[in-house]
A and B are shown apart, each in its own frame.
Chain A
Amino acid sequence: MIPVHRFRKSYRELGLVGVLGLLMLVMGFFSPNYSFWDAENLLGLPRHLAEKGIIACGMTLIIMTGGIDLSVGSLLGLAGIALGYTWLSWGLLPGVGMALLAGSVGGLINGLLITRWALPPLVVTLATMALYRGVAMIISRAQPVSNFPESFGWWGQGHLGPLPVQFFVWVLTVVLFVLIVERTTVGRYSTAIGDNERAARFAALPVTRIKLWLYSASGLLCAVGAILYTSRVSTAKADAGLGWELEIITAVILGGTQITGGRGTILGTFLGLVILGVVRNGLTLMGMKEEWQFMMAGIILVGTAIANERMVERAAIR
């Protein structure tokens, strides 16, 4: 008998790599003048994905524990506003610090509501999604902040060699989180909590502490994403990150992490996000209108989730 776990995981990730390769061929082939394969286009992909990719790392861990965080887009907007407005009064470094603080506090609030008050993560983060977005709008009175110094723009618009700067930030984050999931107690405990929270408590695992950390970390990652985003578009606006939760959650599920919790894979999330990015980019180049992409996103999410379930069931029966 094969030790089921290791192989199943590698199959999944290998499969994703295969799908990615295939898509890159297909998208490139069907794009006008093969523009998809242009260096500029391909190298530009990570720019757009990096912010989401960083947030998706935190989301993966949260979903592994059986939770969810719908407020990530709003936290990104809020952190961006914090950055912009603090910069205006006190300078860039305090601005960055404020953004990180705002993100972490927002995430911590989510965590406290979910752990101390035992409120369901879904509804809590649905509510804070609106709450944080509203706060961002109110603070900024819907006025964006622009004209950031050039040096700041390096993070979001600069290069290190041929690759954009944020690509490295993203990869670093992914590596960090792969290590966290595979090699630290946090990762192990998160898997256990998602597998069976009751048993996790009986096993004397620090369930509350882990959840608080995870939701706070998610908020922090949103802030990092906000900093990169603001740097990239040179603007801090309150509606940044609107609707991002859909793509991020899709990436996590596509990557192989189950929505009900348990085992998770950061690498899978990474690949899933890249696949989604490639699809979106390719379709845009092909001239597919945004509304169709909206619809496609929905279909991809449903299809992936259902396929995931079927695969898990079949594995269990075997």
Chain B
Amino acid sequence: MKAAPLLEIRNLSKRYPGVLALSQIDLAFESGCIHALVGENGAGKSTVIKILAGLFPADQGEILLEGNPTTISAPPEARSLGIGVVHQQTHLIPDLSVAENYALRLGYPRGSLGNISWRRLKSQAALATCTLLPSLEVSRRAHSLSGVEKQLVEVALALASRPRILILDEPTAVLPHRETHELFNHIRQFASSGGSVIFVSHRLDEVFEIARDVTVLRDGQKVWRKEISETDHHDLIRAMVGRAVDFRRDETSVPGKEEYFRALGLEDSQGVFKNTSFKVHRGEIFGIYGLVGSGQAELCQALLGLRKSRSGSVRILDQTLEDKSPTQRVRSGIAYVPADRIGQGLFYKMTVGENLSLSALHRLAPLGWIDLKIEKSHNEDQIEQLQVRTLGAEQSVAQLSGGNQQKVLLGRWLQTDPVVLILEEPTQGVDVGAKGEIHKIITGLAKAGVSILLISSEIPELLALSHRIGIMRQGQLFGQLDARATSEEEILRLALPETQSQPQTLVRAKTTWREHPLRTMFRSLVSRREASLIFFTAALMIIFGLAVPSFLTWRNLSDVLVNNSMLLIGSLGMTFIILAGGIDISVGAILGLSAVTAGKADLAGMSAPVIGISALLVGWLLGTANGLLSVWGRVHPIVITLASWSFFRGTIILITGGYWLNNLSRRITVFGQSKPGGVPLLLIIGLLVALGSHWFLRYRPSGRRLYALGGNRASAEILGIYPRQVMPLAFGLSGLFMGLAGLLEAGRFGQVQTNVGMGDELKFIAAAVIGGTHIMGGRGSALGTSLGALLIGIITQVMGLARISAFWEGVVVGAMILLALGAEVLLSRQNGTVA
């Protein structure tokens, strides 16, 4: 008799627009049991997992943990309830190290003063990953890991949280044989010490190897649950598919002799697929089967010209397609219907008709002018032919069911009159009825003479439709099987990388000398970018010193540093916002308004501390307002800060009446002009702020969260880091810094002009970007920005000394931003990393 379940799901339902993903599902998972969940694509497995992981709630039903009804409202909550999930796609933040990705899920170890102890983190992370990845250097950035390493890290992180329930969604999709074996050992160990495992996989061999029980899902419903010993492959497949492999082949479909399409020696520029060759004849359906990540999607993209190939040729009829852009390839007769119709296929703000005619629009509009009547009739014909269930071409495509959406996507490409049609998972997430209809369409096309490349992970579909079948395994295409002569078992066998006698070594994405330990140590102090900045700035100073004699004097240099303080502080504030993935173009106005506040406070006779606090407070409030408005209104910061720029500038004029604030007293100039112990206070404040920023960004979790959110928003949200927490903080902190800078500005000159701070936002952004802050967020440092600010400060100083007119400042700063951005793009392209 089975023990009482550790985790139980009762009557769970979930509906997406147009699709019923789960329908009254009951599942039970006991401790000590490895329970496999199988089903075709779209059966509902991923939906169950996402609900258990806390990504979204079910519409209906209960989840019970040890008999107690539970709600799982967010991923961190799932973790704390003891549910560890390894998703199909990794959710590591690319620019952060493995160790830090560990910390984002399991917490940062704290040392003295509550600062992050990086040393302890490193050893904790290493401990967590050493069993699965013994030689992994945890300070490596996540983006430098290979697919295999990423997957194993995810498993290690899930296990590290000591869950009671471990959910694995296709964990072996990218793993070679030896690693799969080791993973299975770990899973067995986990189960035997009382944990419960939910194992989702398409690889039935593995299911039979590791699972004790298996549940089959089909079309959102549970078919049955059995012990693994009670079933076999055929039984499973039949349950998954719903009938004995029963797609009847259309034997009247016979391919012609002419070769319509040939790929020879295609090699992906990033190595995902190698030396791929095949040909497709007229009216032939060439099926390709491969496990996820074997390179099919990349191959398709390369064929359409969306992805670069290092070598090889593609011929369609008599034309070679090498240098052609996707637009040109479509005109040559290639069509590609991608698997991901949501992300890569349909336009959800457009109508059915607009989606249908889009790729063939150039035919209806030779000079750019669309003939609406012809478009309409083409669309109506198409809808009729494909039996798309819709209210008409005017309906929003988002309202259609999955199957009908797929037909629309297919229809769009059919309108281009293709010679070769590449179909990637054409019936994914499509209900049974529509599936049959789409199959008929595909066979009909072949009979009409279209060559079809059919990529599918459903073997029965491939067997029923294809004339020949190829297998894609780890980037290589081989085995041109006659579809009538082969079987599901044979195809699976060929597709699984299990017959290798040599254990495969882990393939690292980039094994570079950059990972040398000595260099890593140096790197931990100063990044390569910062080192080059220091070098560049020093060189520049020497050049300037030679060109402009008055530059290299102590007086001038200290002037530079002192004047630079405001720029430094403002740039650091801007850095926080950019790191988190935002932008604020009103910061100059915030600075100005804070300066005006301070000035007014002084003129009103307030004491120095009050003046200081009022400026800081105003800055902080305004910044936070920007952040809150952006989050609450769900409006992009650019719009909010464009508006607040105007608002704040107006307020400045309102308060000052258009007049400068002059003759400010000692109470305010003390901030900007005093020299305690001979050292200008401005310099001291600037230094303290820089050190404080560094400390915040490096040693406080709230600072690290900026990096996480900016690095990858989607992954950050899964980790429980939300814009609504982080953005107001970042904006508020920036505002605080602007307040300080404004105060110092007023204090430095003893007056406040009405255009104070105008245009400063550009300089702050420039300093941050030059200093290595990635404009889209996730990368940057206090040191880098400080160096950037110093560089800009020096250049503006020199321009002043050389009597270059102030107009050049805008040109120079603007040009510097563009150069810095461009350089970064060039560098990242060289590295092969994502910009």
- A: residues with CB less than 8 A from B are 1, 3-6, 68, 113, 117-120, 122-124, 126-131, 133-135, 137-138, 141-142, 183-186, 188-189, 191-192, 195-196, 198-206, 245-246, 249-250, 253, 259-260, 262-263, 289-302, 305-306, 309, 313
User: Does residue B704 face the partner (Cβ distance < 8 Å to A)?
Assistant: no
B775 / chain A contacts, CB cutoff of 8 Å: 119-120, 123
- Contact flags B266-302 to A (C-beta < 8 A → 1, else 0): 0000000000000000000000000000000000000
Contact A302-B359, Cβ < 8 Å, known A134-B814, A309-B634: no
| Smallest Cβ-Cβ distance to B812: which chain A residue | A134
A131 and B814 in contact, given A196-B343, A306-B633 (Cβ under 8 angstroms): yes
Alpha-carbon distance A259/B369, docked complex (angstroms): 26
A253 / chain B contacts, CB cutoff of 8 Å: 639
A185 touches B762 (CB 8 A): no
Chain A residues positioned under 8 Å from B336 (CB to CB) = 202
Q: Assess A298 versus B650: contact at CB under 8 Å? Given A3-B394, A119-B825, A138-B805.
A: yes
Residues of the A chain whose Cβ atoms lie less than 8 Å from the Cβ of B776: 120
19 interchain pairs, CB-CB under 8 A? A3-B394, A5-B351, A6-B394, A122-B583, A123-B769, A123-B775, A126-B817, A127-B817, A133-B810, A134-B811, A184-B365, A196-B348, A199-B344, A199-B347, A250-B643, A297-B646, A298-B645, A301-B643, A301-B646
Q: How far is the CA of A246 from the CA of B817 in the complex (A)?
A: 22
Question: In the complex, A195→B396 CA distance in Å?
Answer: 13
Which A residues touch B361, using CB under 8 A? 185, 188-189
Instruction: Tell me whether B368 is interfacial, beta carbon within 8 Å.
Output: yes
Partner of B629, one of A124, A183, A302: A302
Q: How far is the CB of B322 from chain A (nearest CB, A)?
A: 16
Inter-subunit contact B635/A306 (CB<8 Å): yes
Q: Is the CB of A291 within 8 A of B650?
A: yes
B residues apposed to A, CB below 8 Å: 304, 306, 325-327, 329-330, 336, 338, 343-351, 354, 358-359, 361-362, 365, 368-370, 372, 391-392, 394-396, 399, 412, 583, 585, 629, 633-636, 638-640, 642-654, 658, 759, 762, 765-766, 769, 775-776, 805, 807-815, 817-818, 821-822, 825, 835
Q: Which residues of A contact B807 (CB under 8 A)?
A: 134, 137-138, 142
Q: Residue of B at shortest CB range from A200?
A: B347
Which of chain B's residues have a CB closer than 8 A to the CB of A126?
A: 585, 762, 765, 817
Question: Given contacts A203-B359, A291-B650, is CB(A113)–CB(B818) below 8 Å?
Answer: yes
Q: How far is the CA of A253 from the CA of B638 in the complex (A)?
A: 13
By a CB distance below 8 angstroms, the chain B residues around A133 are: 810
Q: Please give, as numbers and ranges, the residues of chain A lying within 8 Å of B394 by CB-CB distance.
A: 3, 5-6
Q: In the complex, are the beta carbons of B369 and A294 less than 8 A apart?
A: no
CA A294 – CA B650 in complex, angstroms? 5
**A130 and B758 alpha carbons, distance in the complex (Å):** 12
Which residue of the partner chain, among B306, B344, B362, B644, contacts A302 with CB atoms under 8 Å? B644
Contact A202 B653, CB 8 Å, known A118-B835, A183-B369: no
Known: A184-B365, A292-B654. 16 other contacts (CB 8 A): A117-B821, A119-B825, A123-B817, A128-B814, A188-B354, A191-B354, A192-B358, A201-B306, A253-B639, A289-B654, A290-B653, A295-B651, A301-B639, A301-B643, A305-B639, A306-B635
Residue of B nearest to A119 (CB): B821
Closest approach, in angstroms, between the C-beta of A52 and any C-beta of chain B? 15
In the bound complex, how far is the Cα of B109 from the Cα of A33, in angstroms?
72
Query: CB distance B327 to A131 under 8 Å?
Result: no
Q: Which chain A residues lie closer than 8 Å to B825 at the CB level? A: 117-119
For A202, give its contact among B306, B368, B634, B766 (CB under 8 Å): B306
10 interchain residue pairs of minimum CB distance: A294-B650, A298-B647, A131-B814, A134-B810, A134-B811, A137-B807, A291-B653, A295-B650, A3-B394, A306-B633
Report yes or no: B327 in contact with A68, Cβ–Cβ below 8 A.
Answer: no
Chain A interface, >50% SS class: helix
Would B633 and A131 count as touching, CB distance under 8 A? no
B396 x A3 contact (CB < 8 A) = yes
A195:B348 contact, CB within 8 angstroms:
yes
Q: How far is the CA of A122 from the CA of B368 in the complex (A)?
A: 29
In the complex, what's the smallest C-beta–C-beta distance from A206 to chain B, in angstroms?
A: 5
A123 with B647: in contact, given A249-B642, A302-B639 (CB under 8 Å)?
no
A118 to B825, CA, bound (A): 8
Chain A residues within an 8 Å CB radius of B396:
3-5
CB–CB A123/B765 < 8 A: yes
Q: Nearest-CB distance from A238 to chain B (Å)?
A: 8
Q: How far is the CA of A264 from the CA of B327 in the complex (A)?
A: 24
CA distance A295 to B650 in the complex (A): 5
Pairwise interchain contact B650-A184, C-beta atoms closer than 8 A: no
Question: If the complex has contacts A120-B775, A123-B765, A306-B633, are A204 and B329 also in contact, measured as CB distance less than 8 A?
Answer: yes
Most buried by B among A68, A199, A262, A299: A199
**CB nearest neighbor in A for B817:** A127
Determine whether the beta carbon of A195 is less than 8 Å from that of B359.
Answer: no
Interface centre among A124, A205, A294 (most CB of B within 10 A): A294
Instruction: List the B residue with the shortest CB-CB distance to A131.
Output: B814
- Looking at the assembled complex, report how far the CB atom of B324 sits from the nearest CB atom of chain A, in whole angstroms: 10
Q: Is the CB of A195 within 8 A of B347?
A: yes
- Chain A residue numbers with a CB within 8 Å of B412 are 203
Assuming the A-B contacts A188-B361, A298-B650, are A305 and B810 also in contact, with contact meaning beta carbons closer than 8 angstroms in the complex?
no
B350 touching A199 by the CB < 8 A rule? no
Q: B338 contacts A202, CB within 8 Å?
A: yes
Do A184 and B370 touch across chains, with their CB atoms under 8 A apart? yes
Q: B636, A260: Cβ atoms under 8 Å?
A: yes
Interface centre among B412, B645, B648 (most CB of A within 10 A): B645
Known: A3-B392, A204-B330, A301-B643. A130 touches B634 (CB 8 A): no
Whether the Cβ atoms of B649 and A294 lie closer than 8 Å is yes
Chain A residue at minimum C-beta to C-beta distance from B371: A183
* Residue pair B372, A183 in contact (C-beta under 8 Å): yes
> Is the CB–CB distance between A204 and B639 below 8 Å?
no
Whether the Cβ atoms of B359 and A259 lie closer than 8 Å is no
Known: A5-B396, A138-B805, A291-B651. A199 touches B810 (CB 8 A): no
Query: Which B residues are in CB contact (< 8 Å) with A295?
Result: 646-647, 650-651, 654
Say yes or no: B638 contacts A117, CB within 8 Å: no
Complex Cα distance, B636 from A249, in Å, reads 13
| Bound CA–CA A90/B472 (angstroms) | 68
**Residues of chain A contacted by B354 (CB below 8 angstroms):** 188, 191-192
Q: Which residues of A contact B821 (CB under 8 A)?
A: 117, 119, 123-124
B589 to chain A, nearest CB (A): 10
Residues of B within 8 A of A309 (CB): 633-635
Q: What's the minimum C-beta distance from B64 to chain A, rounded to whole angstroms?
A: 30
Contact indicator A202/B344 (Cβ below 8 Å)? yes
* Contact between chains at A1 and B653 (CB < 8 Å): no
- On chain B, the residues within 8 Å of A263 by CB distance are 349-350
By the criterion CB–CB under 8 Å, are B811 and A131 in contact? yes
B711: min CB distance to chain A, Å: 16
In the complex, how many angstroms separate the beta carbon of B750 from the nearest chain A beta carbon? 24
Q: Complex Cα distance A127/B809, Å?
A: 12
Contacts of A191 in B (CB 8 A): 347, 349-350, 354
- Report the minimum CB–CB distance from A92 to chain B (whole Å): 26
Smallest beta-carbon distance A53→chain B, Å = 19
CB <8 Å contact, B633 and A205: no
Q: How far is the CB of A69 from chain B (nearest CB, A)?
A: 12
Contact assessment for B327 and A206 in the assembled complex, using a CB-CB cutoff below 8 Å: yes
Shortest Cβ gap from B302 to chain A (Å): 13
B359 touches A298 (CB 8 A): no
Q: Smallest distance from the beta carbon of A318 to chain B beta carbons, Å?
A: 10
A130 close to B642 (CB less than 8 A): no
Bound-state Cα–Cα, A203 to B347, Å: 10
Determine the distance from Cα of A122 to Cα of B344 in the docked complex, in whole angstroms.
Answer: 24
Bound Cα distance from A300 to B642, whole angstroms: 11
Chain A minimum-CB-distance residue to B394: A3
B residues less than 8 Å from A204 (CB atoms):
304, 326-327, 329-330, 359
Q: Please give the distance in Å from A132's CB to the nearest CB on chain B.
A: 8
How distant is A296 from chain B, measured CB to nearest CB, in Å? 8
Contact (Cβ within 8 A) A298 B646: yes
Residue of B nearest to A129 (CB): B814
